[in-house]
Amino acid sequence: MSTIEKKAWWKEAVIYQIYPRSFMDSNGDGIGDLCGITSRLDYLAELGIDVIWLSPVYSSPNDDNGYDISDYRDIMKDFGKMEDFDHLLAEAHKHNIKIVMDLVVNHTSDEHAWFIESRKSKDNPYRDYYIWKEPRDGGAPNNWQSCFSGSAWEKDDATGMYYLHCFSKKQPDLNWENPAVRDEVFDMMNWWCEKGIDGFRMDVISMISKDPDYPDGPVKDGLYGDLMPYVCNGPHVHEYLQEMNRRVLSKYDLLTVGEAAGVTVDEAKKYANEEGTELNMVFHFEHTDAVSNKGSVVGKWTTRKPVLDDIRPIMNKWQTELEGKAWNSLYWDNHDQPRAVSRFGDDSTEEFRVLSAKMLATCLHMMKGTPYIYQGEEIGMTNTRFRSVEDCRDIEEINAYRQYVTDHHMVSSEEMLKCFETVARDNARTPMQWNSEKNAGFSTGTPWIPVNPNYTDINAEKALADPDSVFYYYQKLIRLRHETPVIVYGVFEPLLTDDHNVYAWRRVLGDQVLTVACNWSDQDVSCDLFENLSDGSEELISNYKSHKKGVLQPYEARVILSSLS
Ligand code: GLC
Ligand code: CA
């Protein structure tokens, strides 16, 4: 039997991620904005979420849609002004919704004032704000490939030296070894906290400390070396986060979640330790990367869909190994991933789309950890179509296409577009589908990225009019979490771990037991977990109104609350 662990509001909360560019356009320029978000707070309050995670809204030349920041204390022109932000924050708080900011401090934009200075000369006071190296044999200092294709190093003509950019060449990496950089970042964070924001989602925070030797990486695609082993979970990362915790985080009541590429369970126990010396929780990538390295065409580009046997061992490992030591975050998708229902569920028919979206939601929200919903997931939005590379807006896709299709002929255009339809980030970035009017009600102008053509069938207005919609199912899951401590704090115990179709487990808190079973297949499958329920057992939620004895129907999910005694 378990004891109640440390309670915290961020353990009990449900987070909703907004990608502002694609959420709601208030002024008809085709780009979502802050006033657009404010205008939809009633919708979010109806859904019942506690927190908005806002993808970056700071000044940016938008090489990577705001993940390249040129001024941390100002708002991107496309999104509005600082007073629009202040208004959004105040209105969100009136709706009892907190706001968590995206903190992108592994790198800045090359248009940030620090970098403009840094590149001027070797003795500029800002030189050491970034990572500069001399050429090796007249070329790049090592063989690292940037996460957005091509070399991770860019030669700068002013001094003939190279700077490191783990992402695009317009995203130079900050040098966290320099105490002045840490001072600047922590000052800026305190400035936002003083404004009253409620937390930070920290972009690629596991990458802020690099291997000081900068060794060549293993070559996988015949072109460049892998940099991840040398930039993730580096020698000083925990020291820097503990300093951040002392100088900023511990002074406020915040939610903190680190995006932690390359994180293992053991590393996560440090980042998200229960003592609270670093962060509240991290995002790992093991389930989203489960098949990207198996049978991939090249790099992360694959057409393979994961099955339950790929996913369950990963999720169960994180559930059981963090128990009592660190807190989990739970997500199926975000702005960097394809749509959950298309990747892990089944969007082949309308019936299966709705059933599997609800099944996946049940699965995630009944695990232990803080659940994240990505905009549109709550209405079961799906992946989109890519007729040609012209349909792509994302720098990751455009660069990968150039490298693998155009320059090196390693993949055909058709194959690459199929991979895009399976895993490209733009699948998540098509405009939020509000209604069946022009541009899905997102904008009166031309949207910056094409709307998914299925918006007349899948949209929020339709969902709100249908009591059996995916929306109301999410609403119920959120309400149940707020009412039922075992959903938040119950210990996770895996069940039926050899079943290829049924994902099942229990959650136990005191004498309360939650039994969860989810059928990941499109067939009836046998399952006797619910055959001998004790008296007083109660079905908390299911995506089917009637059940078959000893059977779970296609994509059926059931959650039963009972008492141990
Ligand atoms: C993170 C962001 C992603 C961005 C990258 C570089 O992974 O989520 O959108 O491209 O960092 O900032
Ligand atoms: Ca706009």
| Partner residues linked to 560 by β-bridges | 515, 539
Which residues, listed in sequence order, are joined to residue 258 by a DSSP beta bridge?
202, 282
pLDDT at 4: 54
Tell how far the Cα of 68 is from the centroid of ligand 1, in angstroms.
9
Q: What pLDDT does residue 171 have?
A: 98
- Dist. CA 341 → ligand 2 center (Å): 28
Q: Atom 4 in ligand 1: which residue has the minimum CA distance?
A: 67
pTM of the model: 0.98
- Reported as a pLDDT band with limits 50, 70 and 90, residue 564 is confident
CA 176 – ligand 1 centroid, Å: 18
For the CA of 167, the nearest ligand:
1
pLDDT reported for residue 338: 98
The gap from C-alpha 522 to its chain's centroid, in whole angstroms, comes to 27
Q: How far is CA 168 from CA 111, 150, 173, 221, 428, in A?
A: 13, 9, 10, 19, 20
Least confident range of 92-106, 284-298, 379-393, 422-436? 284-298
Instruction: Read off the pLDDT band of 504 (50, 70, 90).
Output: very high
Rounded distance, CA 216 to CA 298, Å? 20
Cα–Cα distance measured from residue 143 to residue 219, given in angstroms and rounded to the nearest whole number: 8
User: Which ligand has the shortest distance to the CA of 105?
Assistant: 1
Candidates 3.50.50.60, 2.70.98.30, 3.20.20.80, 3.40.630.10; correct CATH number of 13-108+179-209+232-386+427-476? 3.20.20.80
C-alpha 55 – ligand 2 centre gap (Å): 16
Other CB atoms within 10 Å distance of the CB of residue 137: 6
pLDDT at 382 over 80: yes
From the CA of 448, the nearest ligand is 2
Residue 533 pLDDT: 83
Pocket test for ligand 1, best of 112, 203, 207 (most atoms within 8 A of CB): 203
The ligand 1 atom nearest the CA atom of 336:
9
CA dihedral 32, 36, 42, 46 (to 10 degrees): 0
Average pLDDT, integer, range 246-269: 98
Q: Closest ligand to 261 CA?
A: 1
Give the distance (Å) from ligand 1 centre to CA of residue 466: 35
Residue type, 189: M
End-to-end Cα separation, the chain, in angstroms:
12
Residues with catalytic function: 203, 259
Atom of ligand 1 nearest to the CA of 335: 9
Calculate mean pLDDT across residues 298-324.
95
Q: Phi/psi zone of residue 160: left (φ > 0), alpha (ψ -120 to 50 degrees), beta?
A: left
Structural domain spans, the chain: 13-108+179-209+232-386+427-476, 491-563
Burial class (CB in 10 A: 0-12, 13-18, 19+), 53: buried
Which ranges of 202-293 would DSSP assign to H, the alpha helix? 228-231, 237-247, 265-271
Sign of CA dihedral 379, 504, 260, 326: positive
| Structure confidence by residue, pLDDT tens digits, 193-250 | 999 999 999 999 999 999 999 999 999 888 999 999 999 999 999 999 999 999 999 9
Neighbours of 127 (CB within 10 A): 18
- Of the candidates 287, 284, 111, the one whose C-alpha atom is nearest the C-alpha of residue 205 is 284
- Lowest mean pLDDT across 15-19, 291-295, 321-325: 291-295
Measured in Å, residue 65 CA sits from the centre of ligand 1 at 9
Per-residue model confidence as pLDDT tens digits over 447-463: 999 999 999 999 999 99
Q: What is the pLDDT of residue 299?
A: 80
**Ligand 1 pocket: which of 64, 100, 165, 171 to mutate (most atoms within 8 A of CB):** 64
| Cβ-proximal residues to 449 (8 Å cutoff; 6+ apart), any chain | 22, 393, 426, 429, 430, 431
CATH 1.10.15.40 matches 491-563 = no
- Among 336, 374, 425, which is best to mutate for testing ligand 1, by the most ligand atoms less than 8 A from CB? 336
Q: Does residue 39 register a pLDDT over 80? A: yes
- 1 pLDDT higher than 70: no
For atom 7 of ligand 1, the residue with the nearest CA is 204
Q: Residue 106 CA: which ligand 1 atom is closest?
A: 12
- pLDDT of the residue at 296: 73
Provide the mean pLDDT of the chain: 97
| CA dihedral (240, 241, 242, 245) positive or negative | positive
pLDDT, mean of residues 353-364: 98
Ligand 1 shell residues, CB under 6 Å: 64, 67, 104, 167, 203-204, 259, 335-336
Name the token pair of 34. Answer: 């802050």
Residue 295 pLDDT class (50, 70, 90 cuts): low
Question: Cβ contacts of residue 501 below 8 Å, gap of 6+?
Answer: 308, 519, 520, 521, 523, 525, 552
